[in-house]
Structure 1
Amino acid sequence: MTLLAAGLSGGLAPLGVPGLPDPGVVTRVALPTVQVLRDLVAMGAVGALVVAATCVPPAHPGKDENMVRGVRGRLVLVAQLCATAWVVADGALLALVYADTSGATPRQAGFWNEVVFFARSYELGQYLLWGAALAAVVAVGSAVLQRTPTLGLVAAIALVALWPIALTGHAAGTLNHDDAVNLQMMHLVGISVWFGGLLAVALIWRQLGPSLSSVVRRYSVLAGWCLVLVSASGLAGAWLRLPSPGAVWSYYGALLAAKVGAVACLAAAGWWHRHHVIDRLDRLDRTGQKADIRGEGGAGKGIGGVFARLVVVELVVLAGAAGIGVALSRTAPPAPAGGQEPLTTAQSMLGTAMPPMLDAAGWFTRWSLDTLFLPIAGGAIAWYLVGVRRLRRRGVAWSWLRTASWVTGWLLFIWATNGAPNTYGRVLFSMHMVQHMTIATAVPTFLVLGTPVTLALRTLRRRTDGSRGPREWLLQLVHSLPAQLLGHPVVASALFVVGMVAFYYSSLFETSLEAHTAHVLMTVHFMASGYLFAEVIVGDDPGLQRPPYPLRALLVMITFGFHALFSVTLMSSSRILAEVWFAALGRDWGDTLAGDQYLGASIGWGMGEYPLLVMAIALLISWVRADGRERRRFDRREDRENGRQLAQYNDYLRQLSAAGKQSSPPTMTSSGETTTKESSG
């Protein structure tokens, strides 16, 4: 499928660039073939780990249920084999990609030394190298893991390992590079969990026994969400790549249409699967026909055959869709009607055109949507509101202040990552500082006041068969050793302050302006460190051990004092941060680099005040409420014990008074010694 699609669209033809030698037909054919194999084994590894961590119950529920054995162990073995093949495929791709871009062949002298240089010095080679390294971590982790918490960690690393593939995907070469990479990552996550999970279920369904119905239903829910993710990200990515609606009639548009058709067929199969196969499995499960589910006779034989055929058809269609995606990576999208104009320096650096001069209205009207953080924020708000509605339907009260705090925090996050701070954050240091302070201080404070963990624990469904769903993994996370360590008051404060100083006074700041991956990591770090610090100070969710209230108040003053000191130091500094980047943009409006940096440092100082005020008010209210709760607990205990502690305290005071009457005040002798006279009275 891949070779046929790439051949029809011209993806296997020589590039025909003057002065660049042709690597040969072997390289042109082997490259897409190895790439599709790499994608398939990556999906297999991700899907097997996710299904094992979220859908499959333990081999012995209630006894050693944290041990990875039985069906879970088989899936982990599958993931290990797929991850090992993933490493080998990425290594082969490294050589093939270099041969394809340089026109060299492995038979030439010094070819492999050049491949090593390509992997260390060029972005494309570095992406493939990082992908192989992360896949190796997944393979080794799958080989050594024995407990379920480690299984969850390895599954998370496998999902992260898809990021280098997104950076080299067919959508990563557009002008809007960052948005294209974000959409490609969502697409990969959805298709990997979908395809790999289906492969995992196909491999183990005969060994599941009575758990087959519940496992298939849980996977079906995952597949449904993956369908939404794949469809939305695919359509948005196509909109970025196609210059006009008429471009759908090109070869590239035909490949996109074929991929959309494959997803539509899978959606129809999934609907039939959920409304027929799963319902029949449930009926067999309720009637006790456990053996028949595996196809040993009777009605079970029919359902087993239908289930197997449906899985095979879905796997074939999914593999075909993956092959079409690889063919798209080898096919150039149609050019605009007027031809592609040369990119300016700002366009090549920013991925978009230089924004106009920022005015007062631009703070609210300049928007550049971020395809990664906008869906995350929107999904977080929707989940919270659905959870509150579910509680109210059960008659459980939930504070409207918590809801307002959560929504306010995410709205601020949307503005910081999609509004003017995102539009100008890589052009003006002052707007970058607005974005940083909003994400690191204001947003986490409001989110913590929303107590999301408490809401999740009250609304998420508890599983009783030993498998781990969202509620169980959330409890595992908040009580884990890394969470306790990072949530320690000293560590959280150090991450909040020292991390910021290290970021700006090193090359990390300029790297975050140049590379999309570094920018995403920067945002995640600021958000996470700010959330941990706010949780230590004003949080009310279970999990962390918080210090007494006087120490919390002292910690707030010390931390924000260091934060203010950093801003003042930056204001008085003559060194321009990321000077090479800002100067190369060629901005011909606004303040000078030195003046804009001074403004940014002033904003950093000033914008630390209103989150501090919100945090201080919340801390004071929480302190007063805690004292009130302690006083009420004491009163209730005294009522139950008929004032026992108060009577003991009064007896203690009477004993002190009696002891004082039995002795007179000490007197000084001529030698300087003190004596006490016993009273005769």
Structure 2
Amino acid sequence: MTSATPTVPAEPGRDAMREQRGAAAGLSWALGWLAGIVAILVTAMSAATAVQLAGVPDPGWLTTYGLPAVTAIGEVSAAIALGSAVFAAFFVPPQSDGVLDVGGYRAIRIAATAALTWGVCAVLLIPLSISNVSGQPLSASLKPANLINSYSQVADARTWLWTAIFAVAAAALARVILKWGWTFGAIALMVLSLMPAALAGHSSTGGNHDVATNSLIVHIVGATVWMGGLFAVVVYALADGRWRVLAVRRFSRVAFWSILAVGVSGVINALVRMPLGDLFTDTYGRLVLAKTCALVVLGALGAWHRRVTIARLEDEPAPRSTFVRFGIVETLVFAITFGLAVGLSRTPPPAGENADVSAVEAQIGYRIDAAPSLWRILVDWRFDLLFGTLAIILAIVYLRGVVRLRRRGDDWPVGRTVAWILGCALLLFTTSSGLGRYSPAMFSMHMIAHMLMSMMIPVLLVLGGPVTLALRALRPAGKGNPPGPREWIQSAIHSGPSRFLTHPAVAAILFVGSFYVLYLGGVFEAVVPYHAAHILMNVHFLLSGYLFYWIVIGIDPAPRQVRPVAKLGIVMGSLPFHAFFGVALMMTSAVIAEGYYRSLNLPFAYNLFDDQRAGGGIAWAAGEIPLVVIMLALLVQWRRQDEKQARRYDRRAARDHDADLESYNEMLKDLHNRT
């Protein structure tokens, strides 16, 4: 956060700083109000229908139009906050001592203000949501007694409270940041502040809501980074920042992948929510078309930027260049798009969307028609938009790095490539095959997926050596040049959080201790009905497993050096606790999450207690295969370490003509003569 003797970022001139602050404030206000006005206009088209379908009294114009306006202003502020934090972390380099450059420092301060605005809007949306759901005027919802009584009953109120908590935390952290490394904490908190809203709304209900929710997460994060990054780059270029060409080029790469993610996820989400025939006949469909047109315009402007204005930045000395002018136009289109998106979220989807939805489909998002079998697990696939896409991207990026090394004439062990690809394939299979389909519905299937995500997939990924590959494939920035991806990776490896997380005790507790807390501590039973919980569990399984095996059998550079004997001790000391967990699970007398599993009303009969005992047996036996792989890997690493030491000794002996051996022989002769 701050060092003991923090270095204040160098001032480029008070006029430039004042100009940057003024430009940021003026542009952010214009964007927020434009998005709010568009949201109000769109809401006016369907406000009466929404009230009628909700079956509640009209809460009044202040709630009807205040809610979308505040939402739009808040979401624009969230985009500015996240984009500015990303700008400070990646688009401009810090100073040589790790303190933010003036451009990054100003961007993180803008992020703090915008995040606080996002938090204030979220707080205002709590009574507005209660008023909207209850049909009472806003003045009645603002009464403390009504707020307290309605909070537990109105899901939107809880959504906005969590949003406010994460946003205010991000604002507080961003306000005191001076060091470059802490910008990642602000980014993480800002992304978390987007999640409550992404996991609520139309996409979280009805059939296929798992696909709809996952696509909405990708859509919101991609659009927020895209717009916020553009805002930060435009403000920086307007103030004639030193690294404006570098910032624009880096943003251009981010914008390309953002528009791809936003476009694909938007199409998927729209297809899930409505049939194609309603695009031109329903208000919801026409809004989807309008939003699509706005995204096409944004994509065209971005392509024009890549081809024309970026090159002109290197030649134009004036800060108010063509890029800035067209960048402001692009941000205004973005504000209109955000307003359309808010209005779309306030517009009822086409009628009949949730017709004939079974209990299991309403809970997990899709139907399950028969009991699991080996054939169904192998062929009954349902692609997971988050983890399935992640598996494919990881495989492609890794292979691209290998190809780059090959073209350069460098070798890369085939075994590492095979291990990584197998790990990615197993991740895809675990989350998107029949196993992934049955995992939320049956405890035994969930436990198989859990063991693969935490015990087998991380082992294969660690043996792939991705960090070593990245450090070899990426070009060094060079002395005097701004740091790039290679330097970011090196800094992350040797950072304080990395040293803490790679402590053997911490890694072991996160890996093994979480099993006991999750299943035997009651956490699983409390969170299993929620789609977000399944996402977080999978993320935790992957990361905690990767961290543990990185320490034990990792071939990548690490902030801590652990001897092979100590690694063996870590394994032998941790895995028995994993076996004890499986035994404890089999001996549990009560069914974990019994109410949830019974509420699914699966179309086949099975005993919940027997299924749980099967899950405990799976957990107990799952450690055998990874243990064999770990032992083999440790033996190979031990042998290679001995060979390296032997070669090092031979080279030293060749240089000094066996001086160590001669000295040892002389010592023996001296001892012999004394006796």
Q: Structure 1 length as normaliser, TM-score?
A: 0.89
My pick for the range that moved more, 343-352 or 234-243, is 343-352
Report the alpha carbon displacement of residue 654 of structure 1 after superposing the two structures with TM.
2.8
Structure 2 letter corresponding to 1:328? L
Q: How far apart are the structure 2 equivalents of 1:18 and 1:88?
A: 27
Q: How far apart are the structure 1 equivalents of 2:538 and 2:55?
A: 42
Q: Counterpart of 1:161 in 2: which secondary structure?
A: helix
- Change beyond 3 A, Cα 1:560–1:332: same
1:353 aligns with 2:367: yes
Count of residue pairs the alignment pairs up: 637
**Which of these residues, 222, 238, 246, is aligned with residue 254 of structure 2?**
222
**Which of these residues, 432, 437, 440, is aligned with residue 418 of structure 1?**
432
Q: How far apart are the structure 1 equivalents of 2:122 and 2:267?
A: 28
Q: How far apart are the structure 2 equivalents of 1:466 and 1:191?
A: 30
My pick for the range that moved more, 580-589 or 430-439, is 580-589
- 1:562-584 CA deviation, whole Å, 9 max, x = no partner? 21122122223322222222222
Report the alpha carbon displacement of residue 390 of structure 1 after superposing the two structures with TM.
0.7
**Which of these residues, 615, 618, 622, is aligned with residue 607 of structure 1?**
622
Q: Counterpart of 1:15 in 2: which secondary structure?
A: helix
Q: Counterpart of 1:11 in 2: which secondary structure?
A: helix
Q: How far apart are the structure 2 equivalents of 1:6 and 1:648?
A: 89
My pick for the range that moved more, 572-581 or 494-503, is 572-581
Q: Counterpart of 2:528 in 1: which secondary structure?
A: helix
Alignment of 1:201-600 (within 5 A): 201-282=233-314, 284=315, 292-294=317-319, 304=321, 306-336=322-352, 340-463=354-477, 467-587=482-602, 589-600=604-615
Structure 2 letter corresponding to 1:23? P
Aligned to 2:42: 5
Report the alpha carbon displacement of residue 25 of structure 1 after superposing the two structures with TM.
1.8
Report the alpha carbon displacement of residue 106 of structure 1 after superposing the two structures with TM.
3.2
Superposed CA RMSD: 2.1
The answer to whether the Cα contact below 8 Å between 2:240 and 2:319 also exists between their aligned partners in 1 is: no
Alignment of 1:184-195 (within 5 A): 184-195=216-227
Aligned to 2:14: none
The answer to whether the Cα contact below 8 Å between 1:365 and 1:420 also exists between their aligned partners in 2 is: yes
The answer to whether the Cα contact below 8 Å between 1:536 and 1:544 also exists between their aligned partners in 2 is: no
- 1:166-197 CA deviation, whole Å, 9 max, x = no partner? 12355334432232222112111111111111
- Change beyond 3 A, Cα 1:525–1:540: same
1:125 aligns with 2:157: yes
Q: Counterpart of 2:410 in 1: which secondary structure?
A: coil
The answer to whether the Cα contact below 8 Å between 1:355 and 1:423 also exists between their aligned partners in 2 is: no
Q: How far apart are the structure 1 equivalents of 2:617 and 2:54?
A: 53
Q: How far apart are the structure 2 equivalents of 1:589 and 1:43?
A: 46
Q: How far apart are the structure 1 equivalents of 2:141 and 2:377?
A: 57
The answer to whether the Cα contact below 8 Å between 1:54 and 1:468 also exists between their aligned partners in 2 is: no
Q: How far apart are the structure 2 equivalents of 1:118 and 1:389?
A: 58
Q: Counterpart of 2:382 in 1: which secondary structure?
A: coil
- Change beyond 3 A, Cα 1:17–1:230: closer
Report the alpha carbon displacement of residue 412 of structure 1 after superposing the two structures with TM.
0.8
Q: How far apart are the structure 1 equivalents of 2:618 and 2:459?
A: 18
- 1:12-41 CA deviation, whole Å, 9 max, x = no partner? 556125863220122111111111111111
- Change beyond 3 A, Cα 1:14–1:482: closer
Gaps of 5+ in 2: 1-37
Structure 1 letter corresponding to 2:148? V
Report the alpha carbon displacement of residue 121 of structure 1 after superposing the two structures with TM.
5.3
Report the alpha carbon displacement of residue 278 of structure 1 after superposing the two structures with TM.
1.0
The answer to whether the Cα contact below 8 Å between 1:44 and 1:79 also exists between their aligned partners in 2 is: yes
Aligned to 1:623: 638
Report the alpha carbon displacement of residue 6 of structure 1 after superposing the two structures with TM.
2.6
**Which of these residues, 138, 155, 170, is aligned with residue 138 of structure 1?**
170
The answer to whether the Cα contact below 8 Å between 2:140 and 2:146 also exists between their aligned partners in 1 is: no
Identity of aligned residues (%): 35
- Change beyond 3 A, Cα 1:468–1:578: farther
Report the alpha carbon displacement of residue 316 of structure 1 after superposing the two structures with TM.
1.3
- 1:450-474 CA deviation, whole Å, 9 max, x = no partner? 0001111122343356655433332
Report the alpha carbon displacement of residue 416 of structure 1 after superposing the two structures with TM.
1.2
- Change beyond 3 A, Cα 1:227–1:110: closer
The answer to whether the Cα contact below 8 Å between 1:99 and 1:105 also exists between their aligned partners in 2 is: yes
Q: How far apart are the structure 1 equivalents of 2:55 and 2:547?
A: 55
Q: Counterpart of 1:586 in 2: which secondary structure?
A: coil
Q: Which has the larger radius of gyration?
A: 1
Q: How far apart are the structure 1 equivalents of 2:292 and 2:350?
A: 18
- 1:535-586 CA deviation, whole Å, 9 max, x = no partner? 1111011123242212222322222222112212222332222222222223
The answer to whether the Cα contact below 8 Å between 1:170 and 1:328 also exists between their aligned partners in 2 is: no
My pick for the range that moved more, 609-618 or 473-482, is 473-482
Gaps of 5+ in 1: 296-303, 663-681
Structure 1 letter corresponding to 2:186? V
Stretches of 4+ aligned residues off by more than 6 angstroms: none
The answer to whether the Cα contact below 8 Å between 1:563 and 1:605 also exists between their aligned partners in 2 is: yes
The answer to whether the Cα contact below 8 Å between 2:582 and 2:617 also exists between their aligned partners in 1 is: yes
Q: How far apart are the structure 1 equivalents of 2:60 and 2:49?
A: 10
Structure 2 letter corresponding to 1:380? L
Q: How far apart are the structure 1 equivalents of 2:368 and 2:577?
A: 35
Report the alpha carbon displacement of residue 212 of structure 1 after superposing the two structures with TM.
2.1
- 1:38-86 CA deviation, whole Å, 9 max, x = no partner? 111111111111112111234xx44x4x223422222122112111111
Q: Structure 2 length as normaliser, TM-score?
A: 0.90
Structure 2 letter corresponding to 1:327? G
- Change beyond 3 A, Cα 1:206–1:57: farther
Q: Counterpart of 1:108 in 2: which secondary structure?
A: helix
Structure 1 letter corresponding to 2:161? L
Report the alpha carbon displacement of residue 359 of structure 1 after superposing the two structures with TM.
1.6
Q: Counterpart of 1:249 in 2: which secondary structure?
A: coil
